[in-house]
Amino acid sequence: MTPLRFLRQPFFWVIVAMTAVFIAWPLATGDVRLRESLVLAAVYIILASNLNLMLGYAGYVNFGSIVFFGLGGYVGVYLISEQHWHPVAAALAAGISVSALALLFGLGILRLRGFYFALSTIGVNEGVRAFVSNFAPWGGASGLYISLDSYQSLGGPRQALWTIYILLVGVMALSLLLSFGIKRSKFGLGLRAIGQNEDAAGVLGVPTPLYKALAYSISAFLPAVAGSFYFFKSAFIQPVDAFDLGFSVEVIVTVMLGGTGTVAGPAIGAFLYEELRGWLLTSPAFSNFQLVIAGALLLAIVIFAPGGVMGWIFRHIPKMRRILE
């Protein structure tokens, strides 16, 4: 699809509008709490959209997708705090190095199918976590700290938080555009053919090993960049946070919630999920039971509405198919 045709898709403008809201709303109100909430939402959306490339399009369940986020965080924090790189350069370096690494891992594990692939992604995540816990230059299990004057390159901590927020929103927009672009491209068609029936796709001429490897590697890039920004903001990274398998599963849940294989689905799912969890945590009535409620909600969705929010929308408002993807 040529760039010009891209601009004529209504969904492109939906993405642009959404990005504008994300940036304008907290900036206009100066509401820091809102910004913090939206940062988490943006992170979930980034991870969910990129996971969707493997999960929704190609049908490969990546249980350990968080490993890209965590490794990106480590590369970024290391370059910023120990090598004194600029945060943006560090984030780019993180993205490139982690997707290269993903390509390498992918070559090994992408010949597996179904549950085996899912398990291998867990193995990759846990193996990387165990390794980083022992890796002294990255602080081992103690993690890496960023001293407060590392924020000077972005104008001091308070200004830096806003800048990082805008950068993360930018990464979020890129994730959605990437997802959309791939979906409408020949590459995306090939991926979705793989998702439907990998062997038939292979027979019909889709270069399945190459496409899978590309998808896996591409799905690592933006999460790694996001990880670099996110952990820079947190000023502290340790293995147990960076490679939190539970977080990875939460991202799968958000994609499910929103609707796999769609572009808007992961974004909607991530946003809803993050808001719900945030609300449950701070609500005095529910905070004890928030895990139970989240679990029950997920179960209900899986049983009764497996198409997620987008599935529901498309079924009841068919016209939306022309606008949303």
Partner 1 sequence: MFEIIASIIDGILVGSVYGMAAMGLTLIWGVMNVINLTHGALIVAGMFAVFLLVQAFGVSAYVVAPATLAIGFFAGVAIYWIAVQRMIGRPPLMSLLSTFSVNMILIGLGTSLWGTVLFNVEVSLPGLTLGNYTFPGTHLMAAALTLLIAVLLYFFLQFTRQGKAIRAVSGNREAAELVGIPTRRVLAMAFGLGAALACGAGALIATMFPFTVLAGGAYQLKSFVVTVLGGLGNPAGALLGGVALGLVEGLTTPFIPVSWTSVIEFVIFIFVLIAYPRGLFNFTFRRS
Partner 2 sequence: MKRAFLAAFAALLLTVPTFAVTARADEITIGFTSSQTGALNVDSLAQLRGFEMWRDDVNAAGGIKAGGKSYTVKFVTYDDQSQGARVQQLYTQLIVQDKAQFLFSPYSSGLVATAAVISEQYGALMMSIGGAEAKTYQLGNKYLFQTYTPADNYLTGALEVVKSKKPNGTVALVYSDDPFSKAVAGAVRTQAPAMGLKLVLDESYPPDQTDFSAVINKIVAAKPDALLGGGHYPDGATLARQIYDKKAGIKWVTLLVAPDSAQFATLGPAATGISVPSQWAPEVTYKPDFGPTPADFAKRFQAKFNTPSDYHSAGGYAGGLIFQHAIEQAGSIDPAKVAAALDKMDITTMFGRFKISTDPKSHGLQLTHQMVLTQWQMKDGKLVKPVIWPRAAATAPILYPIK
Write out the residues near partner 2 by the rule CB under 8 A.
31-33, 36-37, 39-40, 130, 133-134, 140-143, 145-149, 157-158, 161, 233-236, 238, 240-241, 278, 281-282, 287-288, 290-291
CA-CA-CA-CA torsion sign (138, 143, 145, 150): positive
Closer residue to partner 1, CB minimum distance, 114 or 155 = 114
CA triple 261-98-176, angle to 5 deg: 30
Q: Which is nearer to partner 2, 117 or 230 (CB)?
A: 230
> Position of tokens 């020949």?
186
Instruction: Report how far residue 303's alpha carbon sits from residue 3's, in angstroms, rounded to the nearest whole number.
Output: 40
Shorter beta-carbon distance to partner 2: residue 6 or 247:
247
Minimum distance of partner 2 from residue 92's CB (angstroms): 23
Distance (Å, whole) CA 81 – CA 237: 11
Contact 244, 231 (CB under 8 A): no
The DSSP annotation for 103-125 comes to HHHHHHHTT--HHHHHHHHHHHH
Alpha carbons 257 and 295: distance in angstroms, whole number: 12
Q: How far is the CB of 141 from partner 2 (least distance, A)?
A: 4
Closest CA to 45 of 80, 21, 75: 21
CB of 119 to partner 1, least distance (A): 6
What string marks each residue from 37 to 56 as x (binds partner 1 by CB under 8 A) or -? ------------------x-
CB-nearer residue toward partner 1: 25 or 289: 289
Question: In whole angstroms, how close is the CB of 241 to partner 2 at the nearest point?
Answer: 5
Does 306 bind partner 1 (CB under 8 A)? Our answer is yes
Secondary structure (3-state) at 237: strand
Site mask, partner 1, residues 56-75, x = CB under 8 A?
---x-x--------------
The residue whose two tokens read 């909600």 is 297
Determine the 3-state secondary structure of 145 from DSSP. Answer: strand
**Could you tell me which stretch among 9-17, 20-28, 173-181, 247-255 binds partner 1 (CB under 8 A)?**
247-255
**Among positions 17, 104, 200, 296, the unique one binding partner 1 when judged by CB under 8 A:** 296
Q: CB-wise, 21 or 296, nearer to partner 1?
A: 296
- Residue 109: contacted member of partner 1, partner 2, none (CB under 5 to 8 Å, by partner type): partner 1
Figure out which of the listed residues 8, 13, 24, 134 binds partner 1, where binding follows CB under 8 A: 134
118 is a site residue for partner 1 (CB under 8 A): yes
Residue 198 or residue 241: which is nearer to partner 2 going by CB? Answer: 241
Residue count (the chain): 325
Residue 144's beta-bridge partner residues? Answer: 237
Phi, psi (rounded to 5 degrees) for 144 = -115, 140
Residues with Cβ within 8 Å of 245's Cβ and at least 6 positions away in sequence, in order, are: 63, 64, 66, 122, 125, 126
The footprint of partner 1 (CB under 8 A) covers 55, 59, 61, 108-109, 111-112, 114-116, 118-120, 122-124, 126-127, 130-131, 133-134, 141, 249, 252-253, 256, 260, 288-299, 302-303, 306
